[in-house]
Amino acid sequence: MSWIRISWKNLLSKKMNFSMNVLLVAFGTSILTLLLLSSEQFKSKLSNNSRNIDLVVGAKGSPMQLILSSVYYVDFPTGNIPLKEANKLAAHPMVERAVPLALGDNYEGFRMAGTDSNFVILYGLELKEGKFWKAPFEVTVGSEVARNQGLQVGDVIHGAHGLSSSQDLHAERGYTVTGILKRKGNVTDNLVLTSVESIWNMHGGHDEEQDKELTALLIKYSSPMAVVMFPRMVNQTTAMQAASPAFESARLFTLTGIGMEVLRWFAILIMLIAGASIFISLYSSLQERKYDLAVMRVMGSSQEKIFLIVMMEGVLLTLIGSLVGVFLGHLSLQVVSHYQEMGQTRFEPWIFMKEEFLVLGGGLCLGLLASAIPAVQAYRSDISLILATH
Amino acid sequence: MIRISSVSHHYNNSVSFNFPDWNIGRGEQWVLLGESGKGKTTLLHILIGILQPKEGEVLILDQSLYKLKKRNLDKFRGEHVGVVLQQPHLLKSLTVWENLQLAQSFSNIIDKRRIEDVLESVGLSEKRRSYPQELSQGQLQRVSIARAVINKPVLVVADEPTSSLDDRNTEKVLTLLKRQTELHQAALVVATHDRRVKEAFINQYRIA
């Protein structure tokens, strides 16, 4: 009979104690796992969605709001900018590519973006079926939009005014789905793409060139020198504002990071409480079991084996607790992603990260630490004295 | 086969014990007598290798116990010495079968047939899957004897094995102990101050 089995049988003989300790460890580990998965995916989604966009130009207001609305599609735009002014910037020698964005409508909670073929190049979009939009009132939908709404090429859909509500429907004119995009794992999966002209036509009053407006311009620089000069030029010489996705994303991550840090310490505190609980239960059970251990020594067990049996109890407890916790962490993210707003890129709950081994390793170390003192005490116990005084 | 020579022991700030020399032959059955506080348990612990005497030597199968390294002494004890304690203490988290298997495992023995045979010989085959808390005091003592002889030791030591038993069970346990040790020509030493036990042995070792 192996010493692991002896430890296991002993743990199982006190089911309530065993369950409580496993639950405590699992609770701490699940929070750590959830934080790890969500923060890493959040960070990766932030950088993935803003890749190839050096600068966003939009109406004056909060730069973070501009980035959130025009790059991540999660906030309201700061306003509109004149097409004429936007075209001037697009033609600037420091600009390699400028992608126009006209926002303001949604389809069943999914945002509609009026743009041109530069958007396709910017995100490297590919078609799963059909073709890209071309004429006004043609749309190409993201993979998640098609999946969620069961859309096929040729379907006609109706947009609604606003960014999430379906109440103010543009019932007078529909859009024809000409294509469905392949999944990219970024914001484009949740967008309905059409031409800028479609948005203008839908809202009317943009017949004159000087009346035409855009929501934002996504810019890629042609030269590294532009990093310093171009935003300053926009902010100082025009009525528009320039915001850097990299800078604002980092700021956003720092802001959300404070909350995550608090949660992380909370999880670590729970793990420490779990460690103390395991220590107390092993220590008190050692007092009850010292005669058991002495009898095992009489039967020929070495001191080392006794040490390992006690250590293994702590390790098994924390290993099981950590594994359950990692699973619960993923399950929690599944619940979170289920309730995420439809138009946003969802968390992927069943992606496993190698950092999760660190969480498991941390749990194991906790088990080793918590059982070390009881194990050493069991190792050193004087069996003759225990048997004589029992 | 087993020899105790010039053994003495003392605990800190306490009386010292000097034990007469003692030779125990293969298959011999002895009773160890002495009043409380005279060192019966101390001598038993010295004999089974869990208490190193301050002086003297204990030889089992020509091996001086306390010259062995700790780890080897544990292994030697597991292989050659069986112990029956006053309270028939079994591990509560293990079944009867597993308690016997555990005793084998400390000597790196895996012999299911042997467990079956021993359980049969103590009349507890049907209790193999029972946990200790499901057994009577008499049954527990029988399992405890089975555990002591499972590895076919050369010496079986019993410390007050009948102190909590009535006359009928005392006789049963003594008969079982004697029979089981006779089966393998193991020496038997029973420490007691129970008169019922004393009368059942011819060889007596007395501590004054």
Q: pLDDT per residue over A360-378, tens digit each?
A: 999 999 999 999 999 999 9
Confidence of residue A205 (pLDDT cuts 50, 70, 90): low
pLDDT for the residue A206: 58
Tell which A residues from 305 to 324 touch B, by Cβ distance under 8 Å.
305
Distance, CA of B21 to CA of B131 (rounded, Å): 41
Domain carrying residue B131: 2-206
pLDDT for the residue B195: 82
Across residues A132-149, what is the average pLDDT?
Answer: 94
Whether the CB of B94 is below 8 Å from some CB of chain A: the reply is: yes
C-alpha distances out from residue A97 to A81, A87, A220, A306, A339, Å? 18, 11, 5, 71, 36
Task: Please write the tens of the pLDDT for every residue from A175-187.
Answer: 999 999 999 888 9
pLDDT for the residue A155: 95
Task: Please write the tens of the pLDDT for every residue from B161-189.
Answer: 888 778 888 888 899 999 999 998 999 99
A1 to B105: CB separation less than 8 angstroms, yes or no? yes
pLDDT for the residue A85: 93
The span from the first CA to the last CA of chain B, in angstroms, equals 24
Confidence of residue A264 (pLDDT cuts 50, 70, 90): confident
Determine contact, residues B142/B124, Cβ cutoff 8 Å. yes
Determine contact, residues B180/B149, Cβ cutoff 8 Å. yes
Using a CB-CB distance cutoff of 8 angstroms, which residues of chain A are in contact with residue B144? none
Q: How many CA atoms lie within 13 A of A10 on its CB side?
A: 26
Domains in chain B: how many in total? 1
CATH number at residue B30: 3.40.50.300
To 10 degrees, the CA torsion angle through B141, A10, A306, B142? 10
Whether the CB of A296 is below 8 Å from some CB of chain B: the reply is: yes
C-alpha distances out from residue B136 to A182, A359, B88, B132, B148, Å? 73, 47, 11, 8, 18
**Which secondary structure element, helix H or strand E, spans residue A218, and what is its range?**
strand A216-221
Determine contact, residues A371/A314, Cβ cutoff 8 Å. yes
Whether the CB of B45 is below 8 Å from some CB of chain A: the reply is: yes
Task: Please write the tens of the pLDDT for every residue from A25-59.
Answer: 999 999 999 999 988 888 888 888 888 899 999 99
- Give the ipTM: 0.92
pLDDT for the residue A207: 63
pTM to 2 decimal places: 0.80
Confidence of residue A172 (pLDDT cuts 50, 70, 90): confident
Which of A258-262, A284-288, B177-181 tops mean pLDDT? B177-181
Tell me the pLDDT of chain A averaged across its residues: 90
Q: Name the percent of chain B in helix, strand, coil, to the closest 5.
A: 40, 25, 40
pLDDT for the residue A342: 54
Q: How far is A290 from chain B (nearest CA, A)?
A: 11
Q: How far is A373 from chain B (nearest CA, A)?
A: 21
Q: Return the residue of B nearest to A390 by Cα.
A: B87
Across residues B13-41, what is the average pLDDT?
Answer: 90
